[in-house]
Amino acid sequence: MNPIALSEVSLLGEGLVRPECVLATKTGDLYTADWRGGVAHLKPDGTQALYTGTTADLPEGLRPNGIALEPDGSFLIANLGTEIGGIWRLTRDGQVTPILTEIDGQLIPPSNYVVRDREGRLWLTVSTRVKPRSLDYRLDSSTGFVAVLDERGARVAADGLGFTNECQISPDGGWLYVNETYGRRLSRLPIGRGAQLGTRQVVHEFGEGQFPDGLAFDAEGHIWIAGVISNQLLRIDLERRTVETMLSETDAEHVAWVERSFLANELGRPHMDNNPATKLRNLSSIAFGGHDLRTGYLGCLLGDHIAQIRLPVAGATPVHWHY
């Protein structure tokens, strides 16, 4: 499959703040996490809206990292704030409600991603229990976990992960796939009865300068990975165990600096907060959309826009596609 030229990337939106996660719907609406305290809405007619809310429980306000769209039009937010993590609901008229903020009486740390599966269960990832988080930008990171919320309540479903990032349920519903960013691996866990997760299997280990962040499935069952720092969009064929680089805006000098610091256990916020790329500003996620699910919408950590590309294959239909 031929790679996509950087010249084919167009930019959407303006004034967005840390649009890490992007959701696309059949109607052409796009939603992004936004650190102005909520969710930005890029409408099919080219206009934008911003949905924000306040609550006394969060003095610093919402810091959305991952977001999920609900059937009633509200949003679930994985809060990355320093005070309280977990899952919060944001309505379009600004109401904020806690959905899950503690497990077994313990407050949930700053949280990374939330997704609702086709069974109605909520899955939440927490990258690390270490404070500050940057002290766990390490290859031996192992305090990340995945939590689940269903009719039985909330519980940790998988623990000991290497800086847990985005997770997704496989199209057949049988597996939970999760990126371990600083563990530099893509893992999967079988989903059993009662949302019990089985033994973790490492699907792919990433190489020099590669730090997996977001992921999505295409219609052929392959996995697309958004690589932060390297600004690479990868496509992994699980059966053949092959990896294709589909899009790249890699600055070799920047990646080399990050790699040296990572191997020396000196990686920190300056490495994440600076990137000389102009289009893929610390690539963080991919969402399939467009009328044929063959348009890719790419989230980022440092830009004020999202990137748009045409893809050679359609994506798997997301749970929220018809919302």
Is the Cβ–Cβ distance between 178 and 184 less than 8 Å? Answer: no
pLDDT tens by residue, 125-175? 999 999 999 999 999 999 999 999 999 999 999 999 999 999 999 999 999
Phi then psi dihedrals of residue 227, to 5 deg? -100, 115
Tens digit of each residue's pLDDT, the chain (323 residues):
899 999 999 999 999 999 999 999 999 999 999 999 999 999 999 999 999 998 888 888 899 999 999 999 999 999 999 878 999 999 999 999 999 999 999 999 999 999 999 999 999 999 999 999 999 999 999 999 999 999 999 999 999 999 999 999 999 999 999 999 999 999 999 999 999 999 999 999 999 999 999 999 999 999 999 999 999 999 999 989 899 999 999 999 999 999 999 999 999 999 999 999 999 999 999 999 999 999 999 999 999 999 999 999 999 999 999 99
The neighbouring-strand residues paired with 56 are: none
CATH topology of domain 6-310: Neuraminidase (2.120.10)
Residue 267 one-letter amino acid: L
What is the pTM for the complete model shown?
A: 0.97
- CA 190 to CA 43: how far, in whole Å? 37
Counting residues of the chain whose pLDDT is more than 70, the rounded percentage is 100
What CA–CA distances, in Å, run from 83 to 37, 78, 148, 286, 303?
14, 13, 21, 28, 25
> What residue ranges do the domains of the chain occupy?
6-310
Contacts of 295 (CB under 8 A, 6+ apart): 24, 288, 289, 308, 309, 310, 311
CA angle (151 as vertex; 149, 152 as ends), nearest 5 = 80
Sign of the C-alpha dihedral computed for residues 205, 202, 125 and 235 taken in this order: positive
Identify whether 276 is preceded by a cis peptide bond (ω within 30 of 0): no
